[in-house]
Amino acid sequence: NAGVTQTPKFRVLKTGQSMTLLCAQDMNHEYMYWYRQDPGMGLRLIHYSVGEGTTAKGEVPDGYNVSRLKKQNFLLGLESAAPSQTSVYFCASSSYQGSSLAFFGQGTRLTVV
Amino acid sequence: DAKTTQPTSMDCAEGRAANLPCNHSTISGNEYVYWYRQIHSQGPQYIIHGLKNNETNEMASLIITEDRKSSTLILPHATLRDTAVYYCIKRTSYDKVIFGPGTSLSVIP
Protein backbone atom coordinates (compact mmCIF):
# COMPACT_ATOMS: atom_id res chain seq x y z
CA ASN A 1 0.00 0.00 0.00
CA ALA A 2 2.44 2.65 -1.25
CA GLY A 3 0.14 5.70 -1.52
CA VAL A 4 2.16 8.59 -2.94
CA THR A 5 5.80 7.97 -3.77
CA GLN A 6 8.32 10.64 -4.73
CA THR A 7 11.67 10.06 -6.35
CA PRO A 8 14.36 11.03 -5.69
CA LYS A 9 14.36 11.87 -1.98
CA PHE A 10 17.45 14.06 -2.15
CA ARG A 11 19.26 15.79 -4.98
CA VAL A 12 21.98 18.38 -5.38
CA LEU A 13 22.07 20.28 -8.66
CA LYS A 14 24.41 22.86 -10.08
CA THR A 15 22.94 26.12 -11.31
CA GLY A 16 21.69 25.69 -14.85
CA GLN A 17 21.27 21.93 -14.69
CA SER A 18 17.95 20.29 -15.37
CA MET A 19 16.12 17.53 -13.60
CA THR A 20 12.77 15.83 -13.28
CA LEU A 21 11.02 14.86 -10.07
CA LEU A 22 8.64 11.94 -10.29
CA CYS A 23 5.46 11.49 -8.29
CA ALA A 24 3.54 8.22 -8.47
CA GLN A 25 0.24 7.36 -6.79
CA ASP A 26 -1.53 4.03 -6.68
CA MET A 27 -4.94 5.21 -5.47
CA ASN A 28 -6.44 6.00 -8.89
CA HIS A 29 -6.80 9.65 -7.88
CA GLU A 30 -7.80 12.19 -10.47
CA TYR A 31 -6.02 15.18 -8.95
CA MET A 32 -2.30 15.55 -8.40
CA TYR A 33 -0.29 18.47 -7.05
CA TRP A 34 3.25 19.73 -6.69
CA TYR A 35 4.18 22.04 -3.80
CA ARG A 36 7.35 23.64 -2.58
CA GLN A 37 8.15 24.47 1.00
CA ASP A 38 10.90 26.87 1.97
CA PRO A 39 12.35 26.95 5.50
CA GLY A 40 9.87 28.22 8.07
CA MET A 41 7.12 28.66 5.51
CA GLY A 42 3.97 26.88 4.47
CA LEU A 43 3.41 24.83 1.34
CA ARG A 44 2.94 26.76 -1.88
CA LEU A 45 1.25 25.18 -4.88
CA ILE A 46 3.43 25.09 -8.00
CA HIS A 47 1.29 23.23 -10.53
CA TYR A 48 -1.56 20.80 -10.36
CA SER A 49 -3.51 18.43 -12.57
CA VAL A 50 -7.17 17.51 -12.53
CA GLY A 51 -6.76 14.51 -14.80
CA GLU A 52 -4.57 12.66 -17.24
CA GLY A 53 -3.29 14.97 -19.96
CA THR A 54 -4.23 18.17 -18.11
CA THR A 55 -2.13 20.58 -16.05
CA ALA A 56 -2.69 24.01 -14.53
CA LYS A 57 -0.61 26.70 -12.83
CA GLY A 58 -0.68 27.14 -9.11
CA GLU A 59 0.59 29.97 -6.93
CA VAL A 60 4.29 29.82 -7.87
CA PRO A 61 4.64 28.19 -11.32
CA ASP A 62 7.57 30.16 -12.77
CA GLY A 63 10.66 28.11 -13.54
CA TYR A 64 8.83 24.78 -13.49
CA ASN A 65 7.05 22.60 -16.00
CA VAL A 66 4.85 19.57 -15.41
CA SER A 67 3.38 16.68 -17.34
CA ARG A 68 0.68 14.13 -16.60
CA LEU A 69 0.90 11.58 -19.39
CA LYS A 70 -0.39 8.76 -17.21
CA LYS A 71 -3.03 9.08 -14.50
CA GLN A 72 -0.77 7.64 -11.85
CA ASN A 73 2.27 9.83 -12.54
CA PHE A 74 2.91 13.57 -12.27
CA LEU A 75 6.32 14.88 -13.29
CA LEU A 76 7.85 18.17 -12.19
CA GLY A 77 10.64 19.52 -14.34
CA LEU A 78 13.26 22.16 -13.73
CA GLU A 79 14.78 23.14 -17.07
CA SER A 80 17.52 25.41 -15.72
CA ALA A 81 17.84 25.17 -11.97
CA ALA A 82 18.49 28.29 -9.91
CA PRO A 83 19.56 28.64 -6.26
CA SER A 84 16.11 30.14 -5.54
CA GLN A 85 14.64 26.73 -6.31
CA THR A 86 16.41 25.18 -3.36
CA SER A 87 13.49 23.83 -1.39
CA VAL A 88 11.62 20.75 -0.24
CA TYR A 89 9.13 19.58 -2.85
CA PHE A 90 5.99 17.68 -1.96
CA CYS A 91 3.63 15.84 -4.22
CA ALA A 92 0.03 15.01 -3.34
CA SER A 93 -3.01 13.38 -4.85
CA SER A 94 -6.73 13.46 -4.18
CA SER A 95 -9.98 12.29 -5.64
CA TYR A 96 -12.98 14.48 -6.32
CA GLN A 97 -15.13 11.59 -5.13
CA GLY A 98 -15.99 10.62 -1.60
CA SER A 99 -14.19 12.44 1.17
CA SER A 100 -11.61 13.84 -1.25
CA LEU A 101 -8.73 13.46 1.16
CA ALA A 102 -5.34 14.57 -0.06
CA PHE A 103 -2.42 12.21 0.46
CA PHE A 104 1.13 13.46 0.44
CA GLY A 105 4.49 12.05 -0.42
CA GLN A 106 7.43 12.33 1.96
CA GLY A 107 9.16 15.05 0.03
CA THR A 108 12.21 15.66 -2.14
CA ARG A 109 14.93 17.84 -0.70
CA LEU A 110 16.55 19.75 -3.57
CA THR A 111 19.62 21.91 -3.22
CA VAL A 112 20.83 24.06 -6.10
CA VAL A 113 24.39 25.29 -5.72
CA ASP B 1 -11.25 37.78 -0.84
CA ALA B 2 -12.15 34.79 1.33
CA LYS B 3 -9.68 34.42 4.16
CA THR B 4 -8.86 31.64 6.63
CA THR B 5 -7.38 32.74 9.94
CA GLN B 6 -5.45 30.61 12.43
CA PRO B 7 -3.21 31.64 15.33
CA THR B 8 0.43 31.70 14.34
CA SER B 9 1.50 29.62 17.31
CA MET B 10 0.17 27.93 20.45
CA ASP B 11 1.56 26.05 23.42
CA CYS B 12 -0.08 23.15 25.22
CA ALA B 13 1.00 21.20 28.28
CA GLU B 14 1.60 17.52 27.71
CA GLY B 15 -1.47 15.47 28.66
CA ARG B 16 -3.84 18.40 28.36
CA ALA B 17 -6.29 19.02 25.56
CA ALA B 18 -5.06 21.17 22.69
CA ASN B 19 -7.75 23.34 21.13
CA LEU B 20 -6.79 24.84 17.80
CA PRO B 21 -9.18 27.42 16.33
CA CYS B 22 -9.81 28.28 12.70
CA ASN B 23 -11.99 31.01 11.23
CA HIS B 24 -13.23 31.53 7.68
CA SER B 25 -14.43 34.92 6.47
CA THR B 26 -16.81 33.07 4.14
CA ILE B 27 -17.65 29.42 3.59
CA SER B 28 -19.99 27.88 1.06
CA GLY B 29 -22.50 25.18 1.81
CA ASN B 30 -20.55 22.55 -0.10
CA GLU B 31 -17.13 23.40 1.33
CA TYR B 32 -15.72 20.98 3.85
CA VAL B 33 -13.25 21.92 6.56
CA TYR B 34 -10.14 19.72 6.54
CA TRP B 35 -7.37 19.61 9.08
CA TYR B 36 -3.86 18.43 8.28
CA ARG B 37 -0.66 18.55 10.24
CA GLN B 38 2.98 18.55 9.30
CA ILE B 39 5.54 17.17 11.69
CA HIS B 40 9.02 18.56 11.17
CA SER B 41 9.14 18.80 7.35
CA GLN B 42 7.52 15.43 6.75
CA GLY B 43 4.66 15.26 4.27
CA PRO B 44 1.39 16.69 5.63
CA GLN B 45 -0.85 14.16 7.33
CA TYR B 46 -4.64 14.15 7.25
CA ILE B 47 -6.30 14.45 10.67
CA ILE B 48 -10.03 14.96 10.27
CA HIS B 49 -12.65 16.76 8.21
CA GLY B 50 -16.28 17.81 8.47
CA LEU B 51 -19.10 19.65 6.77
CA LYS B 52 -21.71 20.63 9.35
CA ASN B 53 -21.67 18.13 12.18
CA ASN B 54 -19.04 17.66 14.82
CA GLU B 55 -16.73 14.77 14.04
CA THR B 56 -14.46 12.50 16.04
CA ASN B 57 -11.91 9.92 15.05
CA GLU B 58 -9.02 8.16 16.72
CA MET B 59 -6.79 11.19 16.37
CA ALA B 60 -8.96 14.18 17.17
CA SER B 61 -12.36 15.84 17.41
CA LEU B 62 -13.66 18.62 15.20
CA ILE B 63 -16.20 21.13 16.45
CA ILE B 64 -17.93 23.27 13.80
CA THR B 65 -20.12 26.24 14.71
CA GLU B 66 -23.63 26.49 13.37
CA ASP B 67 -22.71 29.20 10.84
CA ARG B 68 -19.73 27.01 9.86
CA LYS B 69 -17.37 29.98 9.85
CA SER B 70 -15.45 28.70 12.86
CA SER B 71 -14.06 25.31 13.72
CA THR B 72 -11.91 23.95 16.52
CA LEU B 73 -9.62 20.97 16.30
CA ILE B 74 -9.29 19.21 19.63
CA LEU B 75 -6.43 16.87 20.46
CA PRO B 76 -7.78 15.42 23.70
CA HIS B 77 -4.51 14.40 25.39
CA ALA B 78 -1.63 16.11 23.66
CA THR B 79 1.71 14.32 23.58
CA LEU B 80 5.14 15.56 22.57
CA ARG B 81 4.64 13.82 19.22
CA ASP B 82 1.74 16.17 18.50
CA THR B 83 4.17 19.08 18.17
CA ALA B 84 3.60 20.13 14.55
CA VAL B 85 2.16 22.77 12.25
CA TYR B 86 -1.60 22.37 11.91
CA TYR B 87 -3.39 23.52 8.79
CA CYS B 88 -7.10 24.25 8.45
CA ILE B 89 -8.30 24.17 4.84
CA LYS B 90 -11.76 24.72 3.42
CA ARG B 91 -12.57 23.31 0.01
CA THR B 92 -15.04 21.35 -2.05
CA SER B 93 -13.97 18.02 -3.47
CA TYR B 94 -13.37 19.75 -6.81
CA ASP B 95 -11.10 22.46 -5.41
CA LYS B 96 -7.34 22.33 -5.42
CA VAL B 97 -5.69 22.08 -2.02
CA ILE B 98 -4.26 25.43 -0.92
CA PHE B 99 -2.41 25.82 2.37
CA GLY B 100 -2.29 28.86 4.60
CA PRO B 101 0.49 29.48 7.14
CA GLY B 102 -1.14 27.21 9.78
CA THR B 103 -0.66 27.10 13.55
CA SER B 104 2.60 25.92 15.05
CA LEU B 105 1.65 23.86 18.10
CA SER B 106 4.30 23.19 20.71
CA VAL B 107 3.50 20.55 23.32
CA ILE B 108 5.46 21.33 26.47
CA PRO B 109 6.60 18.56 28.86
Interchain pair B96, A99: CB under 8 A: no
Rounded mean pLDDT, A85-108: 92
Closest of B56, B55, B38 to residue A92, by C-alpha: B38
Give the model's pLDDT for residue A97: 79
**Is the CB of B101 less than 8 angstroms away from the CB of A41?**
yes
Q: Contact at 8 Å (CB) between A72 and A81?
A: no
pLDDT bucket at B94, cuts 50 / 70 / 90: confident
Q: Does A22 touch chain B (CB under 8 A)?
A: no
The partner residue sitting opposite B96, judged by closest CB among A33, A101, A104, is A33
φ and ψ at residue B80, rounded to 5 degrees? -60, -30
Question: A96-106 pLDDT, tens per residue?
Answer: 877 788 999 99
Instruction: Please give the pLDDT value at position B87.
Output: 97
Q: Is the pLDDT of residue A1 over 70?
A: no
Question: Rounded mean pLDDT of chain A?
Answer: 95
For residue range B33-80, what is the model confidence (pLDDT) as tens digits?
Answer: 999 999 988 999 999 999 999 999 999 999 999 999 999 999 999 999
